[in-house]
Structure 1
C-alpha cells in the first residue's frame, strides 16, 4: 500500500503542478486582453479577480488534458530515471498495476473536468456575460438583437430582455403544417413565463389558408411550448458550447438554433471530452518503460508529447466535421479517443512483452 501511495503522490503532484502552470499561462493571456477594459470601467483589481474566477472553469476544460499529459510524462520519466519501475517489476509489480494506480489520479482530474464542463462552466458563462454587460457604460451597452430559434415544430424570433430568461420581447411565432409550410403567425410585444407557462401579451394572429389570411387578436394567450427560462438563457445569453443536458433538451425539440448534428455531437462529447484525460495518461505510460541511459527516454517522451498534441488536433477536426453533419455524431466524438488509446496500448504491450 505504501508503494501505491508513493506512485499516486508522484503522479498526482506532477499533474497538479502542470495544471497550475497551464492555468496560469491561460489566465495571463486572457487578462492581457481583458484587464485594460476592466480598469477603464473602474472595477479595479477586484474586477480583474472576478473575471479570472469566472473564466476559470472554461480554462480548466482546456488545460486538463495537457496537464495530465505533461504531468504523466514528468512522473513516469522520474520513475524510469530512478530505476523505480525496474525495481517494481523485479518485485512482481507489473507496469499495468503501475498504470492502474496512476489512472486513479487521472480519474480525479476527469471528474473535476466533467463537473466544470457540465455544472460550473454554464453558470459561470452566464454570470460573466451579465456582469460584463451590467458594468458597461450606458452608451456602450448595446441592446440585444432579435434571435431566431426552433421550439418543436415552431420557428421563433424574439429578443431576450431579462437575464433570468423569463421574459421575451418582440415575439414572432411561426407555426408550420406537416409539409413544413407556415400556416399561422403569432406576434406579441412580449411574453412572460409564469405558473401556466409562457403568456403572450396582446397577441395578433394570422392564419393562412389556401384561399385567404384570417386575422384575429386577443388580450393574452398561453403559448404551449416546452421552452423554459433555462433554455432561453442557454440559447440567447451564452455563446459557449452548450452542456450535455442543454443539448439533450435541444434534441428533444425544446429549443435550438443550430443543426441537430451539432447537439448530437455535444451529447457524446459530454463524456468524450473528460475521457480525453485518460487517453493522455495512456499516451504518456510507455515512458515508464524507457531507458534514460540512452536516447530512448528522450525519443519516447517527445513521441508521447507529439502524440498528445496530434490527438487534440485530430479530435477537434473530427468534432467539427460531426457538428457540421459530415460525420456521424458517434464517430466524431469517439474515433480519436478509441484510435489513440489503441495506439498507446499497443506500444505499451510491445514494450512490456
Structure 2
C-alpha cells in the first residue's frame, strides 16, 4: 500500500506541477493579446481577471494531455534514476502493476478534462462572448452577417441573435416538400424562444407557393414548431463555435446545424474520446520507467516518449479533421489515434519488460 501511494504521489505531483506551469504559460500568452484592449475599455484589473476566469476551462482542456505526458516523463524518469523501479521489481512487482498504480492520476485528469470541455466551457463561452461584445466600443463593433442553418426540415436564415439565444432577428424560414420544391416562406422581424421551449414568430408574413399561385398571409403571431434549442442558437452565432456533445447530439436529432452531419458525428464522438488522450499520454511516458540511465537509454526513451506524444496530438488532430470533412469514418477518425498510440505504448512496455 505504501509503494502504491509513493508511486501515485510522485506521478500526481509531477503532473500537477507540469499542468500549473503550462496553464500559466498559456494564460499569460492569452492575456498578452487582450490585456491592453481590456484596459483601454476601462474595465481595469477586474476585467482582466474576469476574462482570465472565463477562459480558464478552455485552457485546462488544452493543457490536460500535455501535462500528463510531461508529468509522467518526469515522474517515471525520477523513479528510474533513484532505482526505485529496480527495488519494486525485485520484490515481485511488475512494470505493468507500477503503471497501474499511476492510472488514477490519468483518470482524474480525464474527469477534469471532460468536465471543463463538456460542462463548464459550454456555459462560460457564451458569457465571455456576450461580455466581450457588450464592452466593445460602439464604433468598433462589427455587425455579424446573416447565418443560414438547418432546423429540422426547415432551412433558416437569421440576421442576428441575442446573447442568450432566446431571440432571432429578421428570420426567414423556407419549407420544402418531399421532392425538394419550395412550398412556403415565412418572414418575421423576430422569433422568440419561450421559457418552456418552442419558438414564436412575431408579425410573420407567410408566403405559400401552390404551382403558379402565390398566397400571402400576414399574422400577428405564429408558433414555429422547431427542434431548435436556444443553446443551438448560441453555438451557431458564436465567433468560434465549439459544439459540445449535447449540441452535436441535438443537431443529429434534427436540431439546428450549419455543417454536414459527419462534422457533428465526429464532434459527438470526440467529446468522449478526447479525455482518453491523458491516458494515452501516461502510457507513452511509462517506458521511461524501465530505462537504464547509466547507459544513455534513458535520454533516448525520454526523447522518444516526448516525440511520440507530440506526434499523437498531430495525428489525432489530422484524423479528426478528416472525420469532420467526411473523408473518414467518424468512429475511425476519433478512436483511431488513441487506440494505435496506446497499442504502441503497451508494445514498447512489453518489449522493455521482457
Give TM-score scaled by structure 2 length: 0.97
Distance 2:142 2:256 in 1: 25
Corresponding residue for residue 214 of structure 2: 213
Corresponding residue for residue 188 of structure 2: 188
Corresponding residue for residue 299 of structure 1: 300
**Pairwise CA RMSD:** 1.2
Cα displacement string for residues 268-311 of structure 1 (whole angstroms, at most 9, x for unaligned residues): 10111100100000000000000011110000000010000000
Corresponding residue for residue 288 of structure 1: 289
Corresponding residue for residue 309 of structure 1: 310
Corresponding residue for residue 43 of structure 1: 43
Distance 2:87 2:197 in 1: 69
Contact 1:205 1:215 in 2 (8 A): yes
Query: How much does 1:196 deviate?
Result: 6.8
Structure 1 residues 28-67: aligned runs within 5 Å: 28-67=28-67
Query: How much does 1:124 deviate?
Result: 1.3
Residues 238/115 of structure 1: CA separation in 2 closer, same or farther (3 Å cut):
farther
Range that drifts further, 286-295 or 155-164: 155-164
Range that drifts further, 173-182 or 311-320: 173-182
Is 1:261 the counterpart of 2:267? The answer is: no
Query: How much does 1:216 deviate?
Result: 1.5
Distance 1:161 1:319 in 2: 30
Query: How much does 1:197 deviate?
Result: 2.1
Is 1:322 the counterpart of 2:323? The answer is: yes
Distance 2:45 2:276 in 1: 36
Distance 2:161 2:149 in 1: 16
Query: How much does 1:138 deviate?
Result: 2.0
Structure 1 residues 98-137: aligned runs within 5 Å: 98-137=98-137
Query: How much does 1:206 deviate?
Result: 1.2
Cα displacement string for residues 189-209 of structure 1 (whole angstroms, at most 9, x for unaligned residues): 111122472111111111123
Distance 1:68 1:166 in 2: 40
Distance 1:211 1:279 in 2: 62
Q: Structure 2 regions of 5+ residues with no counterpart? A: none
Query: How much does 1:38 deviate?
Result: 0.7
- Three-state SS of the structure 2 residue aligned to 1:144 is coil
Contact 2:161 2:237 in 1 (8 A): no
Range that drifts further, 177-186 or 29-38: 177-186
Corresponding residue for residue 78 of structure 2: 78
Contact 1:160 1:236 in 2 (8 A): yes
Structure 1 residues 221-260: aligned runs within 5 Å: 221-237=222-238, 239-260=240-261
Corresponding residue for residue 179 of structure 2: 179
Query: How much does 1:238 deviate?
Result: 5.2
Corresponding residue for residue 16 of structure 1: 16
Contact 2:14 2:74 in 1 (8 A): yes
Distance 2:140 2:239 in 1: 19
Corresponding residue for residue 347 of structure 1: 348
Distance 1:41 1:297 in 2: 52
Contact 1:234 1:242 in 2 (8 A): yes
Contact 1:146 1:159 in 2 (8 A): yes
Contact 1:144 1:161 in 2 (8 A): no
- Three-state SS of the structure 1 residue aligned to 2:257 is coil
Distance 2:352 2:201 in 1: 68
Corresponding residue for residue 69 of structure 2: 69
Range that drifts further, 73-82 or 53-62: 53-62
Q: Structure 1 regions of 5+ residues with no counterpart? A: none
Distance 1:117 1:337 in 2: 18
Corresponding residue for residue 3 of structure 2: 3
Q: How many residues are paired up?
A: 353
Contact 1:202 1:219 in 2 (8 A): yes
Distance 2:26 2:235 in 1: 25
Range that drifts further, 127-136 or 160-169: 160-169
Structure 1 residues 263-282: aligned runs within 5 Å: 263-282=264-283
Contact 1:265 1:322 in 2 (8 A): yes
Distance 2:193 2:341 in 1: 47
Give TM-score scaled by structure 1 length: 0.97
